[in-house]
Structure 1
Amino acid sequence: MNNNYSPDQDPIKLFTLAEDHPCSYLNDRNANSAFVDPSQPPTWEQYSALSRLGFRRSGNHFYRPHCRQCSECKSSRIRAFEIDLSRKRFKRILNKSKHLTLSLEPATFSEEHYDIYERYITQRHHDGDMYPPSIEQYKGFLTSEFPFSQLMSMRDDEGQLILATCIDILDDGISAIYTYFDPDYSDLSPGTLAILKMCELAIEQGHPYVYLGYWVKDSPKMAYKRQFTPLDIFDGQNWLGFNPES
Structure 2
Amino acid sequence: MLDQAFQCAFVPPEMMDRLWESGWRHFGITFFRYSISMDEDAPRTITPLRLDLEKFKLSKSQRRVLRKNEDVHCEFVPASHSPQASLMFQRHKARFTSQVPDDLDTFLSESPATIPCPCVECRVHLGEDLIAISYLDVGLNSTSGVYGLFEPDHSDRSLGTYTMLKEIEYSHSIGCRYYYPGYATAEPSPYDYKKQLHGLEYLDWECGVWMPQSRLNA
Gap change, CA 1:197 and 1:244, over 3 Å in 2: closer
Q: Does 1:119 align with 2:91?
A: yes
Q: Which runs of 5+ in 1 are unaligned?
A: 1-30
Q: Does 1:35 align with 2:5?
A: yes
* Structure 2 residue corresponding to 1:76, chosen from 45, 49, 53: 49
- Please show how residues 95-244 of structure 1 align to structure 2 within 5 Å: 95-122=67-94, 124-125=95-96, 127-130=97-100, 133=102, 137-143=103-109, 144=112, 145-146=114-115, 147-158=117-128, 160-236=129-205, 237-243=208-214
Partner amino acid, structure 1, of 2:99: D
What is the TM-score of this pair, normalised by structure 1? 0.74
Q: How far apart are 1:243 and its partner, in Å? A: 3.6
Q: Which runs of 5+ in 2 are unaligned?
A: 37-42
Q: How far apart are 1:223 and its partner, in Å? A: 2.5
- Higher relative contact order at CA 8 Å, sep ≥6: structure 1 or structure 2? 2
Question: C-alpha distance in 2, partners of 1:104/1:244?
Answer: 28
DSSP 3-state at the match of 1:130:
coil
Q: How far apart are 1:83 and its partner, in Å? A: 2.0
DSSP 3-state at the match of 1:197:
helix
Cα offsets for 1:198-226 (capped at 9, x unmatched): 11111111112210112321242343222
What is the TM-score of this pair, normalised by structure 2? 0.83
Gap change, CA 1:156 and 1:130, over 3 Å in 2: same
Question: C-alpha distance in 2, partners of 1:221/1:157?
Answer: 29
Q: How many residues align?
A: 204
Identity %: 24
Q: CA RMSD in A?
A: 2.4
Paired residues of 1:217 and 1:244 also in contact (CA < 8 A): no
- Higher share of residues assigned strand: 2
